[in-house]
Amino acid sequence: MFKKLFGKEEKVDKEVLVSPMTGEVVDVTEVPDPTFSEKMMGDGIAFKPSDGAVVSPVAGEVVNLFPTKHAIGIKSKAGVEYLIHIGLDTVMLDGEGFTAHVSQGDKVEVGDPLVTFDLDFVSQKAKTITPLVITSDVGSIEKNINKTVVKGETEILTVHL
């Protein structure tokens, strides 16, 4: 209300993301798929998950939930779009082993459950390494990688707008 009244808009110059998964975080260049490792969809990081829970790394809106539940697009409150692609070759599972806890259009806060998946099942049928890429143009990013992370807690990216 004060923004409208006094014309003051809060200018956000960066946004910090927390890990959407528990496990190990690595640079996106380590993903064994050139679409991600060569940053064709954008720069980012990837996770080697130790469990099958994916939570929102940022507050925003679910702008895309693939019918196979293996990929989720989130647009943050700052307007940055992120893609979480759970595993590689997981689209071929046609949703088997995945449970979505959100729908397209849902508002999410940091740590809200997005998708759970059967880690053992998926690891037998596909690769579980999970890229998180920034699909919007941003100024720069700082990565907090090569460490063990906890979903909803460990800061993993600072995105400068």
Mean pLDDT of 23-33: 98
CB under 8 Å to 157, separation ≥6 — which residues?
16, 17, 44, 45, 57, 132, 141, 142, 143, 144
> For residue 90, which phi and psi values (nearest 5 degrees)?
-80, -15
Say whether 101 is catalytic: no
The domains of the chain are located at 9-160
Distance linking the first and last C-alpha atoms of the chain: 25
Q: From the candidates 70, 85, 101, 160, give the one annotated as an active-site residue.
A: 85
Q: How confident is the model at residue 7, as a pLDDT?
A: 54
Q: Which CATH class is domain 9-160?
A: mainly beta
Residue 45 has pLDDT above 70, yes or no: yes
Distance separating alpha carbons of residues 17 and 85, to the nearest angstrom: 16
Q: Does position 4 have pLDDT exceeding 90, yes or no?
A: no
Task: Look at residue 99 and tell me whether its pLDDT is greater than 90.
Answer: yes
pLDDT given for residue 6 in this prediction: 54
Can you give the pLDDT at residue 12? 84
Q: What is the pTM of this model?
A: 0.93
Mean pLDDT of 102-109: 98
